[in-house]
Chains A and B, each alone.
Chain A
Amino acid sequence: MIRSSELDRGFMREVMAIPGGENLIKCWSCGTCAATCLVRRYDPTFNPRLILRKAGMGMRQEVLSSREIWLCSACDACYPRCPQEIHISEVMKAIRTIAIAEGYEAPGPFAEVDTALCSGCAVCTRACPYGAIERQPVLVNGEERMVAQVDHTLCMHCGVCVAACPSGSITLEDYANDELIARMGAGGWLEEGSYQQGEATEPRILAFVCQWSMRSDAEWATLDAMQSDSLRIVNLPCSGRVDPGMILLALSQGADGVLVAGCSEGECHYKRGTYLGRSKVALLDTVLAQMGIQPGRVRFVELGAFDRGALPGLIAEMSAALKQPAVTVA
């Protein structure tokens, strides 16, 4: 039971006083945001409507100390659908600002920088959609150097920096480079011969799939069931995490083609990760074309909010295209 005497009516005003939090008062708990939220699909404890309701009711302690307020990645899928035009991610940020001031911390995981390896090139700073990683002067092995440091209040663990770092100095729990390579080749999948080499009956495709582009457990289950000698799925936190080196590794071993599935333009869960994923594939395409490698061996496909169940069809399309005789440029 919630006693009204335990509620802090001023908390709502506190949140509303922070730029971005002004519209909290307009929320009438219609639940559209909760039904849209992709984070909620995978973590049912996260409910944006409930957080706004609790904040509005004045449940200050409960809201500030919760881990849920840190889970919103500001993908803003809910914002255009809110009938009260509330910029929900901004309200979350306002709440977080208060929480940080009171000493609360985000739960993680966070990207981690090996400061001994980091050269301070700032590539990660450019990659990060949240401005969460910047160079700071740090004492490393007795020497002060400018190295990348991750801001735990901002890092959304999208993994884009891990791929971007050209010296392999950044890692992320579950999505480190060697973990992904292990998953790609688990069970010797990459050691089996490819269709191109005449050693398989169907083209063998490695699919890197952004976990947010698949909208439900049911879709993942369908995809999982399709894994076989001809199809290997590796999920990524974001298509921006894809590493062209791993694509080339796969192609130079047993894979005929590599498919990268990411979110549609404007729908990236981490703001611009999908553009990074596409850019890598686009640039890699020009490299492969110049080398005279058969076109179409690397593809980026986009999945939008309404493209339910579309991925198996896209994989089949790619497979059919790879069966066409190779047209190599001399």
Chain B
Amino acid sequence: MVDAARHPKVEILSYSEVERVDGYIGNFRVGINRKPWYVIADNCTGCGDCAVVCPIEVPNTFEMGLAPRKAIDVPHGQAVPLIYSIDMDNCIQCFKCVTACGHRDAIDFGQQPEYVELDVGSIIVATGFESFDPTVIPEYGFGAYPNVITAMELERLDNSAGPTVGRLVRPSDGREPKSMAIIQCVGSRDKRFNEYCSGFCCMYAIKNAILMKQMIPDMEISIFYMDIRTPAKGYEEFYNRAREMGIRFVHGRPSQITEDPLTHNLYVEAEDQELGQVLELETDLVVLSAAAIPRADAGEVSTKLTLSRSPGGFFMEYHPKLRPVDSPTDGIFLAGAAQGPKDIPASVAQGSAAAARAARVLSSDTWEIEPIIASVDENVCVSAKGTKCGLCVPACPYGAISCVTGEPAKITSAKCHGCGGCVAECPHSAISQDHFTDAEIVAQLRALLQDNPEEKIVAFMCHWCSYGGADMAGTSHFEYPADSRGIRVMCSARMDQDFVLEAYRRGAGMVLLSGCHPQDCHYITGQQVAAKRFDRLQQAVERLGISPERFRVEWISAAEGEKYARVITEMSQTLKSLPKEQILSENRGARDSIERRLRRWKASPQMAELMAVAGDDLPGGEELS
């Protein structure tokens, strides 16, 4: 940290918060709130004389509340920069610190917060994690029994720079514990709280156990586990070493911890599965290996930086295998536990990786973006003509569109990732997406439904998930009937209502719209935009007189090849059970309504080209061809 602080090209803005982020890759403008230290950084030498005389003591969160700190203090002894700051919520303004600081004159009660704006090319998010609070598990007694502590508290107690100078003591009576029980998976791997495994607790529990055993050789240490997960290099050997040191491992998840009210000793009750009997272990101290959870402000951060969150709440990576330190937003990278619980070697590796990825941005003059970007036709956009619209703006997961009445909507190409949501949302067909134009897709529909359309299922699939799923079905040899014809778009958000209507106008037997599961969308919120639209579309299709079983919406992931095959099989069976006359008559009945709606196509620029080729069978096309 000190090296980083001294590096000429590294500037540390501590005690500051990101307020907003605008711009795009290579050109971010970051607004930062710098909170006042009430200490002049250049004058402070970090000597600590001020803290010595400060009369106010408050709980020290770094020491897990086990020790106090003063109202003027540093976060901890190794803080960089080592500049003291005043906690104004608790300071009583007695000015003793000013006196103690003396000629150094570093304290300034008049200091104001500062707002700075930085122009940066790339951003790395390495905001870390928090610990789960086990108070919500009443059967473990945390918060009720003094001698039940968390692993973080234990870390402070056995740390030579900690509140007890490294002497492990029991909170209830301050004496050295003769025995200790460590409970794994507290709040992890638990459907009631967090389903994921926190990944590093087995190793740190074993580390603490070995450390304690070295410090207090007679201490009886037991670790209660469901599984011991020590997969990385040297980890299994470490685990074996712990066993050989006499640390007892009990394979059973404790059901409850009770306390002897007089001695404050604890009784841990768990089934020792190897013995097949319930063990009641009396112990001096219990340590809970609490889960790693996302920080409380993760939601705020993800909104400010347009980040997506995985089901556990950690920031989502662009792709777990191919781009693990990239966020979905170009130019913003992730490192460390913010992306998911991981230990130090993995965090450091990710940090290096993120730095390298971020450096690529800085060392380039130009940046290659997706070619499938969207653009607005200023002549068609109604906002340019003074009508209030802006429906495209909320459709964009990246905030790439802005719209002011009186001007056409503007898309920042560098931010556009090509989901196509805005293209489909625009009711006036004023936006088009390169390589996925309306005309191209309508041409595909025309070709696919040329012959015997009533016998066919038109399946719209999103590229990242459902198309992958269909592909998986193929490569895995999951058989399904050959009644479907697929049309690929980048995201389910691109699936326009008009495509569905056109499919029925052309006589399709059934239509399937298939996209990612909500938490999997490659374009963060594209699936949500699509889902809302599909709900309305379902009603619209019914109102046209089309039987509900002829329109289906499914969420299929890239791994669900079996599901894709099953869905097509079901749809095919249903299709075959419907009388052909019924399909024909329903389509006939809906035709006029659909044609009226689709007339607006002729306003769309690329459609003119298509109509020129095949005008007679497109609504409005007969006027053009």
The answer to whether A and B touch in the complex, with CB atoms under 8 Å apart, is yes
A residues at B contact (CB < 8 Å) = 28-36, 40-41, 44, 47, 49-50, 78, 80-81, 83-85, 216, 305-306, 308-310
The answer to whether A34 and B271 have CB atoms under 8 Å apart is yes
Distance in angstroms from A317 CB to nearest chain B CB is 14
The answer to whether B139 and A81 have CB atoms under 8 Å apart is yes
B402 on the A face (CB < 8 A):
no
The answer to whether B252 and A30 have CB atoms under 8 Å apart is yes
Contact of A31 among B144, B259, B273 (CB under 8 A): B273
Distance in angstroms from B274 CB to nearest chain A CB is 10
The CA-CA distance from A210 to B141 in the complex, in Å, is 24
Which of B275-283, B434-442, B544-552 binds A?
B275-283
Considering only CB atoms, which chain B residue lies closest to A83 in the complex?
A: B190
Give 13 pairs: A residue, B residue, CB < 8 Å, sorted on A. A29-B273, A30-B226, A31-B251, A31-B270, A31-B273, A32-B270, A35-B253, A36-B255, A81-B139, A83-B190, A83-B191, A83-B253, A84-B191
| Residues of chain A contacted by B189 (CB below 8 angstroms) | 83
| Residues of chain A contacted by B110 (CB below 8 angstroms) | none
| Residues of chain A contacted by B277 (CB below 8 angstroms) | 44
Chain B interface extent, by class: 20 to 34
| Residues of chain B contacted by A32 (CB below 8 angstroms) | 253-255, 270-271
Distance in angstroms from B282 CB to nearest chain A CB is 11
Considering only CB atoms, which chain A residue lies closest to B277 in the complex?
A: A44
The answer to whether A35 and B141 have CB atoms under 8 Å apart is no
Given known contacts A32-B271, A36-B256, A306-B256, what 14 new A-B pairs fall within 8 Å (CB)?
Answer: A28-B226, A30-B252, A31-B251, A31-B270, A31-B271, A32-B253, A35-B256, A36-B269, A40-B278, A81-B256, A83-B253, A84-B191, A305-B256, A309-B261
The answer to whether A35 and B269 have CB atoms under 8 Å apart is yes
The CA-CA distance from A47 to B255 in the complex, in Å, is 14
The CA-CA distance from A310 to B254 in the complex, in Å, is 22
B233 on the A face (CB < 8 A):
no
B532 on the A face (CB < 8 A):
no
| Residues of chain B contacted by A83 (CB below 8 angstroms) | 185, 189-192, 253
The secondary structure that dominates the A interface is: loop
Known A-B contacts A31-B252, A35-B269, A36-B255; A50 and B276 likewise in contact (beta carbons under 8 Å):
yes
The answer to whether A85 and B273 have CB atoms under 8 Å apart is no
Distance in angstroms from A315 CB to nearest chain B CB is 15
Contact of B192 among A29, A49, A50, A85 (CB under 8 A): A85
The CA-CA distance from A150 to B240 in the complex, in Å, is 57
- Among A41, A47, A305, A306, max chain B CB count under 10 A is at A306
| Residues of chain B contacted by A28 (CB below 8 angstroms) | 226
Known A-B contacts A29-B273, A34-B278; A308 and B191 likewise in contact (beta carbons under 8 Å):
no
B114 on the A face (CB < 8 A):
no
| Residues of chain B contacted by A216 (CB below 8 angstroms) | 280
B306 on the A face (CB < 8 A):
no
Distance in angstroms from B326 CB to nearest chain A CB is 33
B267 on the A face (CB < 8 A):
yes
B368 on the A face (CB < 8 A):
no
- Among A29, A30, A44, A83, max chain B CB count under 10 A is at A30
B260 on the A face (CB < 8 A):
yes
The CA-CA distance from A283 to B445 in the complex, in Å, is 78
| Residues of chain A contacted by B259 (CB below 8 angstroms) | 306, 308
The CA-CA distance from A36 to B280 in the complex, in Å, is 11
**B240-271 CB contact bits vs A (8 Å, 1 = yes)?**
00000000000111111011110000010111
Distance in angstroms from A120 CB to nearest chain B CB is 43
The answer to whether A47 and B276 have CB atoms under 8 Å apart is yes
Distance in angstroms from A266 CB to nearest chain B CB is 12
Known A-B contacts A83-B185, A85-B191, A308-B267; A31 and B261 likewise in contact (beta carbons under 8 Å):
no
The CA-CA distance from A78 to B276 in the complex, in Å, is 17
| Residues of chain B contacted by A33 (CB below 8 angstroms) | 255
Distance in angstroms from B557 CB to nearest chain A CB is 21
The CA-CA distance from A47 to B278 in the complex, in Å, is 10
The CA-CA distance from A47 to B272 in the complex, in Å, is 12
The CA-CA distance from A216 to B267 in the complex, in Å, is 12
| Residues of chain A contacted by B253 (CB below 8 angstroms) | 30-32, 35, 83
| Residues of chain B contacted by A84 (CB below 8 angstroms) | 191
Considering only CB atoms, which chain B residue lies closest to A48 in the complex?
A: B271
The answer to whether B226 and A35 have CB atoms under 8 Å apart is no
| Residues of chain A contacted by B278 (CB below 8 angstroms) | 34-35, 40-41, 44
The CA-CA distance from A176 to B141 in the complex, in Å, is 39
Distance in angstroms from B258 CB to nearest chain A CB is 5
Considering only CB atoms, which chain B residue lies closest to A40 in the complex?
A: B278
The answer to whether B254 and A309 have CB atoms under 8 Å apart is no
Known A-B contacts A28-B226, A31-B253; A306 and B271 likewise in contact (beta carbons under 8 Å):
no
Give B136-161 interface residues, CB cut-off 8 Å to A. 139, 141, 144
Known A-B contacts A47-B276, A83-B192; A35 and B271 likewise in contact (beta carbons under 8 Å):
yes
The CA-CA distance from A33 to B269 in the complex, in Å, is 11
- Among A34, A49, A80, max chain B CB count under 10 A is at A34
Known A-B contacts A28-B226, A309-B260; A81 and B255 likewise in contact (beta carbons under 8 Å):
yes
Considering only CB atoms, which chain A residue lies closest to B280 in the complex?
A: A216
| Residues of chain B contacted by A30 (CB below 8 angstroms) | 226, 252-253
The answer to whether A305 and B258 have CB atoms under 8 Å apart is yes
Considering only CB atoms, which chain B residue lies closest to A44 in the complex?
A: B277
**B487-506 CB contact bits vs A (8 Å, 1 = yes)?**
00000000000000000000
Q: 4 tightest A-B contacts by CB?
A: A35-B255, A31-B271, A36-B255, A83-B190
The answer to whether A306 and B254 have CB atoms under 8 Å apart is no
The CA-CA distance from A84 to B189 in the complex, in Å, is 8
The CA-CA distance from A36 to B278 in the complex, in Å, is 9
The CA-CA distance from A30 to B252 in the complex, in Å, is 6
| Residues of chain A contacted by B251 (CB below 8 angstroms) | 31
| Residues of chain A contacted by B256 (CB below 8 angstroms) | 35-36, 81, 305-306
Distance in angstroms from B429 CB to nearest chain A CB is 48
The CA-CA distance from A30 to B192 in the complex, in Å, is 15
The CA-CA distance from A33 to B273 in the complex, in Å, is 12
| Residues of chain A contacted by B267 (CB below 8 angstroms) | 308
The CA-CA distance from A204 to B271 in the complex, in Å, is 40
Known A-B contacts A31-B271, A35-B278; A305 and B185 likewise in contact (beta carbons under 8 Å):
no
